[in-house]
Amino acid sequence: MKSIRRELQEFLENEVRKAKNWSVNKVVDWDDIVWLANNHPTSSIKHPVYDRKINSIFNDCIDIDHIEVGGRGFIEYCENVAKENVSTILTIIERYRGIVLTDY
């Protein structure tokens, strides 16, 4: 999950730099990414590999961030969350890595 999150973060940071006409060395923080998601929610800009729009990738990043809330690991998280949250995690793994897992 961390590698997926990192990859999506890099994509969003690059899109912020393009939208704000910043150099590739400019540090992008989360507020800049929120700005991008709020100002380009229906943008036609898509991830070149996953064919997902900015707002979808932004929402997936938030879902991934919730996995490690409180420093818990993935397995402990899955044991203590509602089934629909586990389904979200499994969907993200399938979407970005092509690995199909089941929640039963």
Q: 67 is written with which tokens?
A: 């996995």
Residue 40: per-residue pLDDT:
80
Residue 15: per-residue pLDDT:
94
Cα separation of 4 and 61, whole Å? 9
What parts of the chain have a pLDDT lower than 50? 70
Instruction: Describe the chain by its helix, strand, coil percentages, rounded to 5.
Output: 65, 0, 35
Beta bridge partners of 89: none
Residue 70: per-residue pLDDT:
47
Residue 25: per-residue pLDDT:
94
Residue 31: per-residue pLDDT:
96
How many Cα atoms within 13 Å fall on the side-chain side of residue 51?
1
Question: Helix axis angle, 54-65 relative to 2-20, nearest 10°?
Answer: 140
For the chain, the structural domain boundaries read: 2-97
Residue 27: per-residue pLDDT:
96
